[in-house]
Amino acid sequence: MTELDKALETLRQDMNDAKSQSKFYDLFLNTTFFVPKLEEQDAGGAGEGSEEEAVLPLVIEAEGNNYLMLFDSEERVHAWAQAKVGSVAVPGHVLAATTHPPLHWAMNVGTPYSKQFLPDEIAWLREVVERCNAEAAKETAEGA
């Protein structure tokens, strides 16, 4: 059980507890996630002939929504896929800063610690990251 798993379990016990919410989302934003990626042959040859590797994340459609799959360990990615699959490591704060509606997230699918993130929740996390980045830039400018 990871720290993120423990924080999610605590949050589930009381979804309205501000301290539990803060701890979970802070851990989320500071965790490196493994995002399964499409292999070149699955992407219809995308990136052929290119020296730079184009990374296309695996997005799953379910119940009319598109989900970006996120796992907090490579082992969980492989267990979910039931095979060794390629993935890219992305910090939670980068995911929050770069994800836009209508994309959803599905974290740690296939484990007792799975969680779906809705577009409104992701937008809120993006705002948190933008605020933190703005404050950090201000502090850096003041210190220079």
Domain of residue 25, CATH code: 3.40.1350.90
Residue-level pLDDT at 139: 87
Domain that holds residue 95: 3-40+55-143
Q: Examine residue 129 and state whether it is found in any structural domain, yes or no.
A: yes
- If you ran DSSP here, which 8-state letter would residue 15 be given? T
Show pLDDT as tens, one digit a residue, over the chain (144 residues). 999 999 999 999 999 999 999 999 999 999 999 999 987 655 555 444 444 567 799 999 999 999 999 999 999 999 999 999 999 999 999 999 999 999 999 999 999 999 999 999 999 999 999 999 999 888 888 876
Q: Examine residue 122 and state whether it is found in any structural domain, yes or no.
A: yes
- Burial level of 35, CB count in 10 A (0-12/13-18/19+)? buried
Q: Examine residue 48 and state whether it is found in any structural domain, yes or no.
A: no
Q: Examine residue 47 and state whether it is found in any structural domain, yes or no.
A: no
- Cα(11)–Cα(106) distance, rounded to whole angstroms? 17
Q: Examine residue 135 and state whether it is found in any structural domain, yes or no.
A: yes
Residue-level pLDDT at 55: 79
Q: Examine residue 45 and state whether it is found in any structural domain, yes or no.
A: no
Q: Examine residue 49 and state whether it is found in any structural domain, yes or no.
A: no
Convert 114-132 to b/e letters by CB count within 10 Å (16 or more is b): ebebeeeebeebbebbeee
Q: Examine residue 29 and state whether it is found in any structural domain, yes or no.
A: yes
Residue-level pLDDT at 46: 47
pTM higher than 0.75 for the full model?
yes
Provide the number of structural domains found in the chain: 1
